[in-house]
């Protein structure tokens, strides 16, 4: 029997554990999430299929999806998978275009996010949270998402004006008049002339009109604080209004880079966090997870990478920290420059079916939550050791650091350890053999050690 056949049989046995009585209870606590940014196929040339991936992956829910097609959403509901639907600052207001209530720079020009300049979008302009037109539009579009039977709403790029401050906005009339009131009422600037116009002030002092940040401007930090407080005020009222429409069980999600829970992100219940390169140590992941739990938030971890090994390590370790796992399908890799286009990644579903089954078996049928300890250097360098309890047995996963592309581990020379990709035989009495040089056998009453490559 070849290795591939053995793995299929082994993982099929693990899959049976999904239907145990403990699965239903754990399922609500720690879901496996699939992201289908758009419903596929998008056209006749699209070879991808959202429904096929749902059937293959068996996700507990779908998050961060743009879809308003009632027939497509009905097909997802038939599979018993709840979904949240996404909305962003670019929602169109006029025949599919972004026209009214948009973020403006000092010259009155609508602003495009730097990473979106190469996307050739029909509706590239962000809405301003201080614009009454945009406020009404955003709430109306959000109510449409509720009507599409979503369990929650995902706000993509929730920083709005606070983020746009970094690339030149917003200096629309609503922001300028609002900033005056902010200075008088919040900052108590009694010396402010009621006729003071910050936009005119900036234009008279700076030749650089493309950037709102100006170190020599005494009002720059106050203006940024005003924009952040504007976003907080806008989202807080929007959330209350939408809850009144949808009910208290409706869930609010966003993308919170590197696990940040600032004043804006705190408004949401759950965040999908894309880990940057300098935050890929296990210590950083533990810190991010603890921060979310301290604020009673749900944190999902993700990495913009085309390397499936790195993503698999992240998913197992994220699971061990008590975080939901995001399956790497329909995810964006950031462009390397403003001129280059973003790429999307779709990992081979067959490989991830096996991996998601392994995750479910290790965690959802465990009688104890996994414990984590530092790895022994003579075994796996800086690996983490994740210990699960399954069916009265101990299951140990030796997980290399995310930054180690080629970890050096003495797999063949260490006691009872099995490399997942080296399984060569499985019999009815659950005897496992390792194909490594040591030819170690595992009896059905033995502890199982898995080293995840």
Three-class SS string for the chain? CCHHHHHHHHHHHHHHHHHCHHHHHHHHHCCEEECCCECCCCCCCCCCCHHHHHHHHCCCEEEEEECCCHHHHHHHHHCCCCEEEEECCCCCCECCECCCCECECCCCCECECHHHCCCCCCCCECECCCCHHHHHHHHHHHHHHHHCCCCEEEECCCCCHHHHHHHCCCCCHHHHHHHHHHHHHCCCCCCCCCCCCHHHHHHHHCCCCCCCCCCCCCCHHHHHHHHHHHHHHHHHHHHHHHHHHHCCCCEEEEECHHHCCCCCHHHCCEEEEEECHHHCCHHHHHHHHHHHHHCCCEEEEEECCCCHHHHHHHHHHHHHCCCCEEECEEEEECCCCCCCCCEEEECCHHHHHHHHHHHHHHHHCEEEEEEEEECCHHHHCCCEEEEEEECCEEEEEEECCCCCCCCCCCHHHCCCCEEHHHEEEECCCCCEEECCCCCCEECCCCCEEEECC
Q: 140 in a domain, yes or no? A: yes
CATH of the domain at 330: 3.20.20.80
Query: Do both 157 and 41 map to the same domain?
Result: yes
Q: How confident is the model at residue 442, as a pLDDT? A: 35
Which residue, among 6, 18, 90, has the nearest Cα to 57 in the 3D structure?
18
Q: 419 in a domain, yes or no? A: yes
How far is it, in rounded angstroms, from Cα 207 to Cα 400?
51
Query: Do both 381 and 411 map to the same domain?
Result: yes
- Is residue 54 predicted with pLDDT exceeding 60? yes
pLDDT band of residue 365 (cuts 50, 70, 90) is very low
Q: How confident is the model at residue 397, as a pLDDT? A: 66
Last residue in a domain, options 332, 366, 400:
366
Query: Do both 339 and 396 map to the same domain?
Result: no
Last residue in a domain, options 366, 394, 419:
366
Last residue in a domain, options 310, 335, 366:
366
Worst-scoring range by mean pLDDT, 252-266, 290-304, 321-335?
Answer: 321-335
Question: Which residue has tokens 């301290």?
Answer: 294
How far is it, in rounded angstroms, from Cα 411 to Cα 215?
56
Q: How confident is the model at residue 105, as a pLDDT? A: 95
Query: Do both 393 and 273 map to the same domain?
Result: no
- Is residue 443 predicted with pLDDT exceeding 50? no
Query: Do both 322 and 240 map to the same domain?
Result: yes
Q: 231 in a domain, yes or no? A: yes
Query: Do both 307 and 385 map to the same domain?
Result: no
Stretch 315-324: mean pLDDT = 82
Tokens of 427: 């019999």
Query: Could you tell me which residue, 116 or 214, shows the higher pLDDT?
Result: 116
Determine the structural domain holding residue 389 and report its residue range. 367-451
- Is residue 44 predicted with pLDDT exceeding 80? yes
Cβ atoms of 370 and 251 closer than 8 Å: no
What is the count of structural domains for the chain? 2
- Is residue 193 predicted with pLDDT exceeding 50? yes
Q: 359 in a domain, yes or no? A: yes
Q: How confident is the model at residue 225, as a pLDDT? A: 96
Whole-number average pLDDT of the chain: 76
Stretch 433-453: mean pLDDT = 40
- Is residue 162 predicted with pLDDT exceeding 80? yes
Proportion of the chain above pLDDT 70, given as a percent: 66
**Cα 324 to chain center, whole Å?**
10
pLDDT single digits (tens) 71-111:
999 999 999 999 999 999 999 987 777 788 999 999 999 99
- Is residue 312 predicted with pLDDT exceeding 60? yes
Query: Could you tell me which residue, 132 or 383, shows the higher pLDDT?
Result: 132
Q: How confident is the model at residue 385, as a pLDDT? A: 65
Query: Do both 163 and 304 map to the same domain?
Result: yes
Q: Which residues of 216-248 are buried (b: 16+ CB within 10 A; e: fewer)?
A: ebebbebbbbbbbbbbbebbeebbeebeeebee
Q: 20 in a domain, yes or no? A: no
Q: 350 in a domain, yes or no? A: yes
pLDDT single digits (tens) 215-243:
578 899 999 999 999 999 999 999 999 99
Proportion of the chain above pLDDT 90, given as a percent: 43
How far is it, in rounded angstroms, from Cα 399 to Cα 317?
8
Which residue, among 443, 441, 320, 452, has the nearest Cα to 387 in the 3D structure?
320
Query: Do both 371 and 354 map to the same domain?
Result: no
Q: How confident is the model at residue 49, as a pLDDT? A: 94
Worst-scoring range by mean pLDDT, 43-47, 90-94, 192-196, 436-440?
Answer: 436-440
Query: Do both 281 and 420 map to the same domain?
Result: no
Q: How confident is the model at residue 351, as a pLDDT? A: 66
Q: 10 in a domain, yes or no? A: no
How far is it, in rounded angstroms, from Cα 201 to Cα 183?
15
Query: Do both 358 and 379 map to the same domain?
Result: no
Largest pairwise CA distance in the chain = 85
How far is it, in rounded angstroms, from Cα 304 to Cα 314?
12
End-to-end CA distance of the chain: 22
Cβ atoms of 161 and 233 closer than 8 Å: no
User: 338 vs 49, 335, 341, 345, CA distance in Å?
Assistant: 30, 7, 8, 19
pLDDT single digits (tens) 330-359:
887 765 555 555 678 787 666 676 666 666
Query: Do both 189 and 111 map to the same domain?
Result: yes
How many residues belong to the chain? Answer: 453
Tokens of 377: 């250097």
Query: Do both 423 and 379 map to the same domain?
Result: yes
Q: 23 in a domain, yes or no? A: no
Q: How confident is the model at residue 278, as a pLDDT? A: 74
Q: Is 328 left (phi over 0), alpha (psi -120 to 50) or beta?
A: beta
pLDDT single digits (tens) 375-434:
443 444 556 666 665 555 566 666 666 776 655 544 443 444 444 443 323 222 233 333
- Is residue 183 predicted with pLDDT exceeding 50? yes
pLDDT band of residue 361 (cuts 50, 70, 90) is low
- Is residue 274 predicted with pLDDT exceeding 70? yes
Stretch 173-181: mean pLDDT = 95
């Amino acid at each position: 029997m070849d290795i591939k056949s053995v793995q299929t049989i082994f993982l099929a046995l693990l899959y049976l554990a999904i239907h145990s009585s403990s699965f239903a209870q754990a399922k609500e606590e720690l879901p496996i999430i699939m992201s289908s940014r758009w419903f596929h196929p998008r056209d006749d040339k699209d070879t991808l299929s959202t429904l096929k991936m749902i059937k293959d992956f068996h996700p507990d829910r779908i998050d961060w999806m743009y879809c308003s097609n009632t027939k497509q959403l009905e097909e997802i509901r038939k599979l018993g998978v709840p979904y949240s639907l996404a909305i962003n600052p670019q929602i169109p207001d006029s025949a599919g275009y972004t026209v009214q209530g948009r973020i403006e720079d000092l010259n009155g020009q609508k602003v495009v996010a730097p990473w979106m300049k190469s996307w050739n979008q029909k509706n590239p302009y962000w809405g301003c949270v201080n614009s009454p037109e945009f406020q009404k539009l955003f709430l109306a579009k959000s109510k449409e998402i509720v009507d599409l039977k979503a369990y929650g709403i995902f706000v993509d790029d929730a920083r709005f004006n606070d983020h746009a401050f970094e690339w030149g906005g917003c200096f629309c009339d609503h922001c300028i008049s609002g900033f005056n009131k902010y200075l008088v009422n919040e900052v108590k600037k009694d010396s402010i002339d009621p006729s003071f116009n910050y936009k005119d002030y900036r234009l008279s002092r700076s030749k650089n009109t493309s950037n709102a940040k100006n170190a020599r401007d005494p009002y720059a930090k106050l203006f940024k604080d005003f924009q952040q407080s504007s976003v907080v005020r806008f989202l807080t009222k929007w959330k209350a209004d939408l809850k009144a429409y949808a009910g208290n069980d409706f869930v609010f999600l966003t993308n919170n880079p590197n696990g940040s829970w600032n004043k804006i992100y705190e408004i949401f219940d759950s965040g999908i966090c894309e880990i940057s390169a300098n935050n890929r140590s296990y210590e950083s992941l533990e810190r991010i997870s603890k921060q979310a739990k301290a604020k009673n938030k749900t944190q999902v971890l993700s990495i913009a990478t085309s390397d499936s090994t790195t993503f698999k390590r992240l998913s197992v370790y994220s699971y061990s920290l008590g975080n939901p796992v995001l399956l790497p399908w329909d995810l964006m890799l950031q462009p390397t420059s403003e001129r280059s286009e973003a790429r999307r990644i779709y990992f081979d579903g067959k490989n991830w079916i096996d991996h998601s089954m392994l995750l479910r078996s290790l965690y959802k049928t465990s009688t104890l939550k996994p414990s984590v300890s530092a790895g022994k250097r003579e075994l796996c360098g800086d690996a983490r050791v994740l210990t699960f309890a399954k069916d009265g047995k101990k299951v140990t996963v030796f997980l290399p650091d995310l930054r180690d592309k080629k970890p050096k581990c003495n797999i063949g020379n260490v006691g009872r350890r099995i490399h997942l990709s080296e399984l060569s035989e499985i019999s009815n009495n659950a005897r496992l053999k390792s194909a490594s040089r040591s030819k170690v056998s595992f009896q059905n009453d033995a502890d199982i050690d898995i080293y995840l490559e």
